Amino acid sequence: VAASEFAARRREVAAALAERKLDALFVAFSPNLRYLTGFTGSNGGLLITPGSAILFTDPRYTIQAAEECLSERNGGLRIRIAKGPLLVEVAAAIAKAGVKRIGYEPARMTCDALDALKARLPMRAALHPVSGWIEQLRMLKSPDEIDRIRRSVQINSRAFERAAARLKPGVTERDFAAELEYRMRRLGAEKPSFETIVASGARSALPHAQPTAAPLASGFVLVDMGAFVDGYASDMTRTLHIGPPGAKARRAYKAVLEAQLAAIDAVRPGVVAYAPDRAARRVLKRYGLDRAFVHSTGHGLGLEIHEPPRIGKRDQTRLRAGMAITIEPGVYLEGWGGIRIEDTVLVTESGCEILTPTPKDLRLI
Query: Nearer Cβ to Zn ion, position 130 or 266?
Result: 266
Cβ at position 292, least distance to Zn ion in Å: 18
For residues 281 and 293, the answer to whether their CB atoms sit within 8 Å is yes
Query: Nearer Cβ to Zn ion, position 91 or 197?
Result: 197
For residues 160 and 186, the answer to whether their CB atoms sit within 8 Å is no
Cβ at position 5, least distance to Zn ion in Å: 26
Q: Which stretch binds Zn ion (CB under 5 A): 83-91, 159-167, 233-241, 248-256?
A: 233-241
Query: Nearer Cβ to Zn ion, position 9 or 310?
Result: 310
Cβ at position 340, least distance to Zn ion in Å: 8
Q: According to CB under 5 A, which residues from 328 to 357 bind Zn ion?
A: 342
Measured between alpha carbons, how far is 115 from 85 in angstroms, rounded to an integer? 13
Cβ at position 224, least distance to Zn ion in Å: 4
- CA 307, 311, 315, 316 torsion-angle sign: positive
Residue type, 320: R
Q: Which stretch binds Zn ion (CB under 5 A): 48-56, 128-136, 170-178, 325-333?
A: 325-333
326 binds Zn ion (CB under 5 A): yes
Q: Which stretch binds Zn ion (CB under 5 A): 27-35, 64-72, 111-119, 319-327?
A: 319-327
Q: According to CB under 5 A, which residues from 200 to 229 bind Zn ion?
A: 224
Query: Nearer Cβ to Zn ion, position 154 or 237?
Result: 237
235 binds Zn ion (CB under 5 A): yes
Cβ at position 196, least distance to Zn ion in Å: 10
Cβ at position 235, least distance to Zn ion in Å: 4
Residues in contact with Zn ion by the rule CB under 5 A: 224, 235, 237, 326, 342
